[in-house]
Amino acid sequence: MKTFLTNNDVSKILSFLPLAIWSVNKGFGSFVTFDAGEKIIKKKKGKEIKYVGQLHIWIYLCDWELYHNNKILLSSEIEDKKIYDKILHQLIGLPILKIEEYLTQKNVKLTFGENFCIYLKNNLDVYEKEDDLLMIFIENQAVLSYSLQNGFYIEPV
C-alpha cells in the first residue's frame, strides 16, 4: 500500500541522515546505485556474501546531473563507464545529507558532503509520468520512491 508524502515527511523518515556512502555503481544505461550506512547482508551464495547499504538508492528512469561547487561534473547523457567511475567514486566516503523535491520544477535533489549534489529530472520525451526517478530501499524494510505523477511515496518491502 502506497503512502504519499510531503518533503517534511521525507525528512522525518530520513532523519537518520547523514550516512556515509561506501559504494557507487553505474548500472545499465544511466542507472546509478549508491549504498550508504551499515552493510546489510542481501544474500549468501556459498562463501560469497553480497551486501547492500542501510540505505540503497537506485537512480533510474530519469535524466540527472551531478554538480560540485555549482559546476556540472557528470550527466546521464555521458555513456563512458570510465568517466562515470572516475567521477562517481569521488562520492565514496562522503555523507548523504538530504533528499528533497523541488516542488516548482518537480525534480529531486540529493545533497552530499563537500558541496556535491545530484539533480534528478523528469524527461517526458523518454519516460512516463508514473515512472519512478529513484527508489530508496531503507534497511530492507521500506521503499521510498518518487515519480512525477505521485511525488514521494513509501511502501513496505
Structural domain that includes position 92: 3-156
DSSP string, 128-141: -TTSEEEEEEETTT
Residues 96-133: pLDDT tens digits? Answer: 999 999 876 778 999 999 999 999 999 999 999 999 99
Contacts of 82 (CB under 8 A, 6+ apart): none
Q: What is the pTM of this model?
A: 0.92
Q: How many domains does the chain have?
A: 1
Is the pLDDT assigned to residue 44 strictly greater than 90? no
